[in-house]
Structures are given as structure tokens and as C-alpha cells.
Structure 1
Amino acid sequence: MAKWAPHLIGLLTPLSAVVSLLVGGWWMLTPIVLLLGLYPFLDSFVGSSTIHDVEEEGKGHDLIVHAHGFLVPVVVLCLLYRVMIGVDSIPLLVPIISAGLATGASGVVAAHELGHRRPRSFSWWLGRLDLLSVMYLHFTVEHNHTHHKHWARKVDPTSSPWGRSVYGHLIRTVPRQLRNAYRIRPKDTTISLSIEATLLIGLAIWGLPYFAAFVGQALIAIYLLEFVNFIQHHGLERGEDERPNAGHAWESRTRWSRYTLMNLPLHAAHHLRSSTPYQRLRPYDESPQLPGGYYQMFWIALIPPLFNRMMQKSVDHSGGVGGA
């Protein structure tokens, strides 16, 4: 089997959203059941991989990330279509959550990968379209120019200190990232905000249900993005003059999270060389290991005392890491 084949599983996320939104009814619960119910279980059931070999190069990997990129705006359009034809007796919140989980778990991951491609290339623009779909166009500027320079430092708004909850992280990180993006690229950020504002005004004129549905799915996607930022460097603080190393990023080797999220859990490898495509990322023995896969960590992070206790156990098991 080709080494890119397991990553096809990740396309189930946006495809399930597209199909369920078109079919309607209680089928629209499908992405919710998959991502929040089945996938956390599969994180454990499928197990982890300790293989250090990187995957082979090939067009398959590239086609997969672009497929994710194309499907994101399709998910949003299907959501708006569902609002237009009606949701019958199903609460509007159901298709909003389903779409948001898909645009977050699929779209933001694809936008992150494509955002590291050559600026102004087709792939880069596709990533920008994905970010527009979730109202987060400033992400590329802040991520590439601040986070990758200062990751695991106090000055980095996306790196959370030890003991902070995901809720406290959200309140702090979103405005700070926007401010950083404006400071670095004021013209580009202003244009991005203007485009987003124009889109929102257009949706509001079209009808408040469309506006609410679009904003709702975007907020869910943004939460998923910032949840990932929250866990990736939590408590792993480095000094201003300290060189970054694999010990400054949490890692998860669970196969299900790796296959469905395009190796996003191998985060240290991404930081040590940000231009490396996802199929070339590899595990590092120096990286502390998260208590579970990303889908499991979603639920754990929602309960701060449980999150802190499990992260502390991981730190103790590692013999102390980073600044924790």
C-alpha cells in the first residue's frame, strides 16, 4: 500500500459534512458523531506508531492536502444551502456544529500546510480561501512571522504557559494574534479584515440565518485551531536566548490523529524545519508525549483540572520537560 493512502482517511471529515448537509435530517449529526465520538475512541484503538522513517515523496500526499483545501469552501456552501432550503425540525445548531468541525479539523489543517507554500502560488491562495471560510485571514501572517520565530517563548501569544486553561488561552490569544498580524503587516491585515467585513455584511444583507450559520461554523473552527495551539507548546517555555529544540513542542504519535490531520501531531518536526511538507515530518524522541491523541485531548482540555493532572503525569513520565 502506498504510504500516502492512510491519509485519505482524513477526507472522511469534510466529505461526511458535505454529504450529510446535502441529505439533511438527523444525518447532519454524522460529523459530530465521528469527530467527537468515534475518533477519540479510534485514537486509542488504532494505537501509536514509533516508526521514525519519514514517508516517501509522491503526488498522492500533495493531492490529499489540496483535496482538503477545495472541500472547505464546499462545506461552507453546503451549510448555506441547507439554511436556504430549511432544516425541518432539526435545530440549526446541528448543521452549524457539523460544518464547523469539518472546516476546523480539515480546513485549518490544510490552510496551515498550504500557508507554508510559496507565497502567491496557487496552493498559497487556496490556503487563503480556506482561512477566509473561517474568518481567520490574519493567521498566515501571525503564524509564519511570529509563532515560528518565538514558539515556546512568553512573547508568543499562541504558546500557553503551564496551568492556563484552554478558556483563558482563547481570551488572550485571539486578540494578541490579530494585533501582532497588524503590527507585522498592517496593510495586508487591513485588507484581510476589510474582505472579511465585506463578506459578513453581504451575508447579513442576504439574511440573518445565513450570517449566523457562517459565523457559527467559523467560531467553532477558530476554537479548534486555538485548542491545537494551546496543547502544542503548553508549559514548554524556553528563554529568549535559548535555541529551540524538539523538547519545546508536545508530540502525539497516535496513528488516527496523524492520518486524519496530516501529521499535525508531529509538531516538533514542523517547527525545526517549517518548509518540510507534512509527509516528511518524523517523530523526535526528545519531544514530550501528549497523554492522548488530538481527538482525545479535545475532551480532556475542556476539563482544566483533568487536563492539568494528565499533563503533569506526562511531564513526570518524561522526567521534566521544557519550562514545566
Structure 2
Amino acid sequence: MSKWAPHLIGLLTPLSAAVTLLMGGWWMITPIVLLLGLYPFLDSLAGSSTIHDVEQEGNGHNLIVHLHGILVPVIVLCLLYRVWAGLGSISIIVPALSAGLATGAAGVVAAHELGHRRPRSGSWWLGRLDLMCVLYLHFTVEHNHTHHKHWARKVDPTSSPWGRSVYGHLVRTVPRQLRNAYRIRKKDTTISLILEVALLVSLASWGTPYLIAFVGQAVVAIYLLEFVNFIQHHGLERGEDERPNAGHAWESRTRWSRYTLMNLPLHAAHHLRSSTPYEKLRPYDESPQLPGGYYQMFWIALIPPLFNRLMQKSAVHSGGVGGA
């Protein structure tokens, strides 16, 4: 089997969203059942793996990340089509949630990967289109210029300290990231905001249901992005003069999360060399290990006392990182 073949599994998420949105009816709950119901169990059943190959050929992997990127606007169009075609007795929440889970779990991950490609290249612009679809165009500026410089420091708005809940993290990080992006690239961020407002006005002119569905999926996608930010450096604080190392990022080696999220859980490797394509990311023994895969952590993070207890336990098991 080709080494890129397992990562094809990740396409199930966006494809299921696009197809079921076209089909309509209760089929539209399929992505919800997959991501929130089945995938957490598969995180456990599939086990973990430290296998990596920094010399592997990247054409297949490159195709996969671009397919993810292309499917984001397709999903949004399918969502708008579903609103136009009619929802029947189903609440608009269902298609918006299904679309948002896909544009967040698959699309934003692809946008993140593509955002590290050569600026103004076709791949980079595809990543920008994906972020436009979830109203988060400022992400590339803030992520590349602030987060990658200050990760695991107090000044980084995406890194969370011990004891903070995902809810508290959200209300702090979203406005701080936007403010940082505006400070770093005032013109670019202003243009991004104008484009996003223009898109919303256009959707509103078609009708309120279109606006609600689109904004709903964007909110879900943004939540998934910031949930991931929340867990990736939680409690792993470094000093202003301290050099970053693999111990400043949480890692998960679960196969299912790695294969479906383009190795996103191997986060330390990404930070130590951000230009490394996802297929060449490697696990680090120095990185503390999350209590579970990313799909499992989604549910755990929703219960702050449980999240704090499991994270502290994992930190101690990993050698007392982050002052635990």
C-alpha cells in the first residue's frame, strides 16, 4: 500500500458532507454521526503509531491536501443549495452543523497546511479561499507571524494556561487574534474584513436562511480550529528568552487522528520546522502525549474538570512538563 493511501480516509469527512447535503433529509446527520460519534471510538480502536518516513514521495500527499482544499467551497455551495432546495421538517441547524464539522475538521486543516506554502502561489490562494469560506481570513497572518514566533508563551493568544477552559479560551483568543493580525498587517486584515462583510451582505440579500446557514457552519468551523489551538499547547508555558523545543507542544500518535487530519496531532514537528509538509512530520519522545486522539479530546474538553484532571495526569506521566 502506498504510504499516502491511509490519508485518503480523511476525505470521507468532506465527501460525506457534500453528498448528504445534496441528498437532503436525515442523510445530513451522517457527518455529525461520523465525527462526533464514530471517530472517537476509532481513535481508540485504531491504536497509535510512531511510524514516519521523512524521505517519502509527496505527490500523493500533495494531491490529498489540495482535494481537501477544493472540497471546502464545494461543501459551502452544497449547503446553500440545500437551503434553496428546501429543508423539509429538518432544522437549519443540522445542515449547518454538518457542513461546519467538515469545513472545520477537513477544510481548516487543509487551509493551515496550504497557508504555509509559498505566498501568492496557487496553493496559498486555495488556502485563503478556504478561510474565506469560514470567515477567518486573518488566521494566516496571525498564525504565521505571531503564533509561530511566540507559541507556548503568555503573549500568544492561541496558547492556553493550566486551568483555563475551552470556553474561557474562546472568548479571549478570537478577538486577540484579530487584533494581532490587524496590528501586524493592517492593510491585509482590513481588506479581509471588507471581503467577509461583503460576502455576508450578499448572502443576506438572498435571504436570511442563507445567511444563518453560512454563518452557522463558519462558527462551528472556527470552534473546531480554536479547540485544536486550545489543546495543542495547554499549560506548556515557556519563558520569553527560552528556546522552543518539542516539550512545548502536546502530541497525539493515534492513527485515526493522524490519518484523517493530515498528521495535525504531530504538532511539535510542525513548529520546529513549519515548512515541513504534513507527510514528513515525525513524533518526538520529548513531547507530552495527550490523553486521547483529537476526536476524543473534543468531548473531553467540553467538561473542564475532566479535561484538567486528565491533562495534569498526562503531564505528570510525561515528566512533569508545564509546571504540572
- Counterpart amino acid of residue 132 in structure 2: L
Counterparts of residues 110-259 of structure 1 (less than 5 Å): 110-259=110-259
Q: Distance in 1 between matches of 2:180 and 2:92?
A: 35
Counterpart position of 2:316:
316
Q: Report the Cα offset of residue 53 of structure 1.
A: 3.8
Q: Distance in 1 between matches of 2:55 and 2:19?
A: 31
Q: Distance in 2 between matches of 1:179 and 1:84?
A: 36
Q: Report the Cα offset of residue 91 of structure 1.
A: 1.3
Counterparts of residues 103-114 of structure 1 (less than 5 Å): 103-114=103-114
Counterparts of residues 18-167 of structure 1 (less than 5 Å): 18-54=18-54, 56-167=56-167
Q: Report the Cα offset of residue 228 of structure 1.
A: 0.1
Q: Distance in 1 between matches of 2:307 and 2:70?
A: 34
Q: Distance in 2 between matches of 1:160 and 1:126?
A: 29
Identity of aligned residues (%): 86
Following TM superposition, where does structure 1 have runs of at least 4 consecutive aligned residues deviating by more than 4 angstroms? Answer: none
Q: Distance in 1 between matches of 2:54 and 2:260?
A: 17
Q: Report the Cα offset of residue 51 of structure 1.
A: 2.6
- Counterpart amino acid of residue 281 in structure 1: L
SS at match of 1:292: coil
1:184-235 Cα shifts (integer Å, max 9, x gaps): 0000000000000000001011100000000000000000000000000000
1:85-104 Cα shifts (integer Å, max 9, x gaps): 10111111111100000000
Q: Distance in 2 between matches of 1:112 and 1:129?
A: 12
- Counterpart amino acid of residue 136 in structure 1: Y
SS at match of 2:297: helix
Q: Distance in 2 between matches of 1:17 and 1:160?
A: 31
CA 1:218–1:55 in structure 2 vs 1: closer, same or farther (change >3 Å)?
A: farther
1:142-168 Cα shifts (integer Å, max 9, x gaps): 000000000000000000001100000
The answer on 1:266 being equivalent to 2:258 is no
Q: TM-score, normalised by structure 1?
A: 0.99
1:222-274 Cα shifts (integer Å, max 9, x gaps): 00000000000000000000000000000000000000000000000000000
SS at match of 1:243: coil
Q: Distance in 1 between matches of 2:146 and 2:75?
A: 30
Q: Distance in 1 between matches of 2:313 and 2:124?
A: 39
1:33-62 Cα shifts (integer Å, max 9, x gaps): 000000000000000002354361221000
Preserved CA contact (<8 Å) 2:43 2:293: yes
Q: Distance in 2 between matches of 1:20 and 1:53?
A: 36
Preserved CA contact (<8 Å) 1:100 1:217: yes
- Paired residue total: 324
SS at match of 1:322: helix
- Single out whichever of 310-319 and 145-154 deviates more from structure 2: 310-319
Counterpart position of 1:15:
15
Preserved CA contact (<8 Å) 2:52 2:280: no
Q: Distance in 1 between matches of 2:50 and 2:38?
A: 23
Q: Distance in 1 between matches of 2:312 and 2:241?
A: 26
- Counterpart amino acid of residue 210 in structure 1: Y
Q: Report the Cα offset of residue 322 of structure 1.
A: 2.7
Counterpart position of 2:285:
285
Q: Distance in 2 between matches of 1:163 and 1:177?
A: 21
Preserved CA contact (<8 Å) 2:266 2:281: yes
